Amino acid sequence: MKVTINRWNAVSTWHWDHAQEELCGICRVAFEGTCPTCKYPGDDCPLIIGECKHAFHMHCLLKWLTTESSKGLCPMCRRKFKTATD
Amino acid sequence: MSRPVNPWLASKGLLYDIVFQSADRQSDAQLLQHHEDSARIATADWQLVTAWMMPQTMLHSPGSTVMEATVRLRQRNLMDRLLNWYIDAVRSHFALHGLPAIKNPNIPGILSDLDSVGNGVKRVLATLCDASRHYMFPISFLYIDNTNKVDRLARTRFRHSLNAMIDIALSDHEFQLMAHMLVEHHLASCGKQDDNEMVDDQGEAQRLAFLAEIREQIDMLEVQDRMERIVAEVYHKFMPRYISQKYVRIWEQERSVEPLMVELKNLIYGPISRCISALIRRDEFLEARLYELATECLVKLGIEEMFDIVIYFPDSMPALGYLRTCLKTQEHRAQLVTAFQNACQARLLHCGANTSDIISFYMSTIRAFKLLEPRGVLLDKVSRSIRRYLRDREDTVKCIVNGMLDVEDPNTGDLSELSKELASASSTQNVSSADDNDYSDMNWVPDPVDAAPDFRNKRSSDFIGSLLSLYDNKEVFVKEIVVVLANRLLDLSNYEIEREMMHLELLKVLFGEADLHNCDVMVKDILESKRVDANIHDPTTVASGTYPVADVVHASMLSRLFWPAFRDDGLVLPPFIEEQLNRYSAKFSILKSARKLMWLKRLGSVDVTLELEDRTLDFTVSPDRASLIYLFQERPTYTIDELKARLSMDETATRRAVGFWIKNDVLKEDETCSDRYILLERAEETKKKVLLDDAAESSVQTAEEKATEEMRIYWSYINGMLTNIPALPIDRIQSFLKMLIPKEVGYSRNLDELRDFLTVMVAEEKLEYVSGNYRLKK
């Protein structure tokens, strides 16, 4: 017998690969979910990762950085927040 | 004074005493002689007159002697007595000769033939007419003076006693029978008449003439009352029979039913009215009363048939038409509701009926009753029991959602009507949101008196709305929609989702955008997958260090938080496919930086072609089945344990996959060794196979499973509760949970959900259920 596979429709779920934690530290929603202002996850609501390795929804972090009290610090470790370069 | 006077006494000379009874007080010696003389004369006169009066065969006018004797009797005030005597004489004569004369010896023979029944009736009446003429004859000579009060009274008295005799004669059972048959026969021929009107015109004239003759006799006998009663009785029996014969299941009869009420009215105002008024006295309301009775019968018929009317809706529209016209009284409305509810209980609302059938019946009910009564009060009443029953059915939601999404599922039946309704309703729905609190509506009328206290005028005939309002919140539907849609999207093989998008848009109108947000994301995932998939297969994008992905492999990439929880227990795919999937995810990670794919290997679908020695077969199967048959390329036999190990599947799933291939005659079980399967390179005539049923398995968790999963957060509370109090009934647990669980966590489950969850816990052997109480298993 010979089995020929004509078409294989596979199903997968996508995940962010370098998040250490499950939830965004600011909005407490899973990374694979969306920040409170977005409707669609993934491309529309990307992550941002700092040099300190802390990850957030990008929209959440940008909003945090615009507030007075943030002083440009990472909300988790209070170091200066800089986007990881790799 | 009322002592009987009879001819025999008189003839024996005892009359003397009797005649002078009234004069006893005047027993004056002087008068005695005179009295004796006149008494002798009186006795002679009396005998003369009574001899003439005695009923006899031949009538002859009284001679002058008789008349003179009468004058003398009148002077002596004996006329009253004479009348009493005569009445008695007539009675005995009638009993002796009259009654036997009207008895017909041949009743059974007559009853079988309608013509002789007519003649029989006529003969009886004729005999009675004769008799009454005979008996009246002497009266008409003796009591003739109209100015004399005594004479008039006497005539009336005699007439009364004569009537009484006739009445007794007519209440004879046999006569009654004949009269009933006669009237019935005539009514029936009126009913038949409308079929061939032309031919029967002459027949009707004949019949009417015949009835007129009878009427004459009746008038003469003054027994119209009796005849009216007979006619009324017959009509009351005749009409229901006629109606139910003619109008039963009217939608099944091949005749134009449009002018149904007109036809009935014509019949009653025409032939029947003519026939009846030929027979009895009539007044101006006769036809109206007859017609009212007929409509009453129609309503009764309609009430009995209501269940069938709904079943055959919309073919049964004509029946609804007449029911609508005739259904006026509160009593009928109440009867209709009760009869319909009883029929529902007996014929529909039991476990033998499919949920989809009940739902489509409910839809017909809504339509039919809305036609019957646009206000919807009746509908509100009759649908209560159906709705209550539907709420208790487990698969109601599933059926409705499948119907709305137009999913073909052998388990839930066909409700595609719902999706059509959804498409047509959504365009009009927003416009017709009638508000009950429109205070400026000058045409407002109060609800009918039989409306239930909590009756609210619901959306006009919109049964999607009615179905959705079965449950207090729409959440159950949303959950089910998510599950059904997820299954649909995963079953697609080429990212074609136009139909799903259309359905989703329609559903959004019903449920609101926010509730179906998940569905939006799911649809977008598939669209995005299509784009990414095209990109991955694009030969121009091959980056260094990656290999092109074989054309056969395509993937859906899902945002896992927005889909229902998946069932995926892992599976070992054919090595070739595993390799391709790795390449696929590598390319994905390049395309979408910082993201990776996790494969749900059991999900999806595979098109395979099997080339066997004598045949080539095409299948579209699930990945586990494809992987399993792929293994048989290496060698033709496997045991179930080997298959389990190679595929890393559990036994149930493996057996199910094997079962599929056995059913399709690709594999067979080894007859010498059970649990060992052989590839059939050549097709065999196989004997009947007993197999596991091949129910399509949902790839996502169902709503109930999900609910149970979510209940697990309350387990620690239940556990703690049962540690303190060893055994508790379910309603105590429920009330404790409501009390104990802090607001932040929240507890909003109902008793049924809790029971489901506790049942699962019992199955997992964490709890015991003993005599109505739950307790911890030690």
Rounded CA separation B183/B290 (Å): 15
Neighboring chain A residues of B555 at a CB cutoff of 8 Å: 9-12
Facing B558 at nearest CB: one of A5, A13, A17: A13
At residue A4, the pLDDT reads 87
Average pLDDT across chain B, whole number: 78
Taking each helix axis from N to C end, the angle separating B623-631 and B640-647, rounded to the nearest 10 degrees, works out to 120
Rounded CA separation B237/B242 (Å): 9
Tokens (6 digits) for B228: 């009216």
How many Å lie between the alpha carbon of A52 and the closest alpha carbon of chain B?
A: 17
Rounded CA separation B524/A44 (Å): 11
Q: How many helices (H) and strands (E) does chain B have?
A: 33, 9
Does residue B549 surpass a pLDDT of 60?
yes
Facing A3 at nearest CB: one of B492, B605, B629: B629
Confidence bin at B704 (pLDDT 50/70/90): low
List pLDDT tens digits, range B116-135: 777 888 888 888 888 888 88
**Do B154 and B93 meet the contact criterion of CB atoms below 8 Å apart?**
no
User: Does the beta-carbon distance from B557 to A39 stay under 8 Å?
Assistant: no
Nearest CA in chain B to A48: B594
List pLDDT tens digits, range B130-154: 888 888 888 877 777 777 777 788 8
Confidence bin at B184 (pLDDT 50/70/90): confident
At residue B177, the pLDDT reads 80
Confidence bin at B537 (pLDDT 50/70/90): confident
At residue B637, the pLDDT reads 86
The three state secondary structure string of chain A is CEEEEEEEEEEEEEEECCCCCCECCCCCCECCCCCCCCCCCHHHCCEEEECCCCEEEHHHHHHHHHCHHHCCECCCCCCECCECCC
The amino acid at B402: N
List pLDDT tens digits, range B663-686: 888 888 877 777 888 888 877 765
Rounded CA separation B433/B58 (Å): 91
Query: What residues of chain A have any CB closer than 8 angstroms to a CB in chain B?
Result: 1-18, 30, 32-33, 39-43, 47, 49
Rounded CA separation B738/B438 (Å): 40
**Do B505 and B397 meet the contact criterion of CB atoms below 8 Å apart?**
no
Nearest CA in chain B to A7: B552
User: Does the beta-carbon distance from B599 to A2 stay under 8 Å?
Assistant: no
- Point out the least confidently predicted range of B67-81, B245-259, B397-411, B694-708: B694-708
Count of A–B CB contacts within 8 Å? 147
Nearest CA in chain B to A46: B594
Task: Provide mean pLDDT across the span B264-280.
Answer: 80
Facing A1 at nearest CB: one of B528, B599, B610: B610
User: Does the beta-carbon distance from B589 to A17 stay under 8 Å?
Assistant: yes
The amino acid at B255: R
User: Does the beta-carbon distance from B556 to A32 stay under 8 Å?
Assistant: no
Task: Provide mean pLDDT across the span B625-644.
Answer: 88
List pLDDT tens digits, range B559-578: 888 888 887 677 888 888 88
Q: How many domains would you assign to chain A?
A: 1
Residue A83 lies in a domain: yes
Task: Provide mean pLDDT across the span B414-427.
Answer: 69
Task: Provide mean pLDDT across the span B619-631.
Answer: 89
Confidence bin at B431 (pLDDT 50/70/90): very low
How many Å lie between the alpha carbon of B696 and the closest alpha carbon of chain A?
A: 17
Rounded CA separation B481/B499 (Å): 15
Neighboring chain A residues of B619 at a CB cutoff of 8 Å: none
Nearest CA in chain B to A29: B561
Confidence bin at B97 (pLDDT 50/70/90): confident
Phi, psi of B552 (to 5 degrees): -75, -20
Residue A3 lies in a domain: no
Task: Provide mean pLDDT across the span B310-328.
Answer: 81
Better pLDDT: B198 or B733: B733
**Residue B729, beta-bridge partner list:** B773
List pLDDT tens digits, range B3-23: 444 444 444 445 555 555 544
Task: Provide mean pLDDT across the span B188-208.
Answer: 67
Rounded CA separation B757/B708 (Å): 5
The fraction of chain B above a pLDDT of 90, given in percent, is 0
Residue A1 lies in a domain: no
Neighboring chain B residues of A41 at a CB cutoff of 8 Å: 521, 559, 561-562
At residue B460, the pLDDT reads 47
**Which of A11, A24, A32 is the best substitution to test chain B (most B C-beta atoms within 10 A)?**
A11
Question: Measured between alpha carbons, how far is residue B547 from residues A8, B583, B590 in Å?
Answer: 18, 7, 12
Residue A31 lies in a domain: yes
At residue B660, the pLDDT reads 87
- DSSP three-state, residue B283: coil
Confidence bin at B237 (pLDDT 50/70/90): confident
Residue A64 lies in a domain: yes
Neighboring chain B residues of A9 at a CB cutoff of 8 Å: 492-493, 554-556, 604-606
Tokens (6 digits) for B255: 């005749």
How many Å lie between the alpha carbon of B609 and the closest alpha carbon of chain A?
A: 5
List pLDDT tens digits, range A29-54: 888 888 888 888 888 888 888 888 88
- The ipTM value here is 0.90
At residue B432, the pLDDT reads 42
Tokens (6 digits) for B215: 């009427």
Rounded CA separation B271/B191 (Å): 8
Rounded CA separation B591/A32 (Å): 17
**Do B318 and B260 meet the contact criterion of CB atoms below 8 Å apart?**
yes
Q: Is B197 exposed, middle or buried (0-12, 13-18, 19+ CB in 10 A)?
A: exposed
How many Å lie between the alpha carbon of A41 and the closest alpha carbon of chain B?
A: 7
Does residue B430 surpass a pLDDT of 50?
no
Residue A33 lies in a domain: yes
**Do B98 and B133 meet the contact criterion of CB atoms below 8 Å apart?**
no
Does residue B93 surpass a pLDDT of 80?
yes
Give me the DSSP letters along B617-680. Answer: EEEEE-HHHHHHHHHTTT-SEEEHHHHHHHHT--HHHHHHHHHHHHHTTSEEE-SSSTTEEEE-
At residue B109, the pLDDT reads 64
Better pLDDT: B234 or B77: B234
Task: Provide mean pLDDT across the span B57-83.
Answer: 78
At residue B544, the pLDDT reads 63
Tokens (6 digits) for B326: 């005739």
User: Taking every pair of C-alpha atoms in chain A, what is the biggest distance, in angstroms?
Assistant: 71
Which range of residues forms the domain containing residue A35? 19-86
At residue A80, the pLDDT reads 87
Task: Provide mean pLDDT across the span B232-257.
Answer: 78
Four-CA torsion B64, B70, B74, B79, nearest 10 degrees: -150
Residues 6+ apart with CB under 8 A from B7: B50, B54, B85, B89
Does residue B2 surpass a pLDDT of 50?
no
Rounded CA separation B80/B115 (Å): 46
- Among left, alpha and beta (phi > 0; psi -120 to 50; other), residue B772 is left
pTM comes to: 0.69
Confidence bin at B451 (pLDDT 50/70/90): confident
**Which of A4, A7, A9 is the best substitution to test chain B (most B C-beta atoms within 10 A)?**
A9
- DSSP three-state, residue B172: coil
At residue B437, the pLDDT reads 60
Residue A4 lies in a domain: no
User: Does the beta-carbon distance from B596 to A32 stay under 8 Å?
Assistant: no
Residue A9 lies in a domain: no
At residue B455, the pLDDT reads 67
At residue B543, the pLDDT reads 63
Q: Where residue A59 sits, what CATH number does that domain have?
A: 3.30.40.10
Tokens (6 digits) for B668: 């067979």
Neighboring chain A residues of B493 at a CB cutoff of 8 Å: 7, 9
Does residue B435 surpass a pLDDT of 60?
no
Does residue B753 surpass a pLDDT of 60?
yes
Tokens (6 digits) for B421: 């309704």
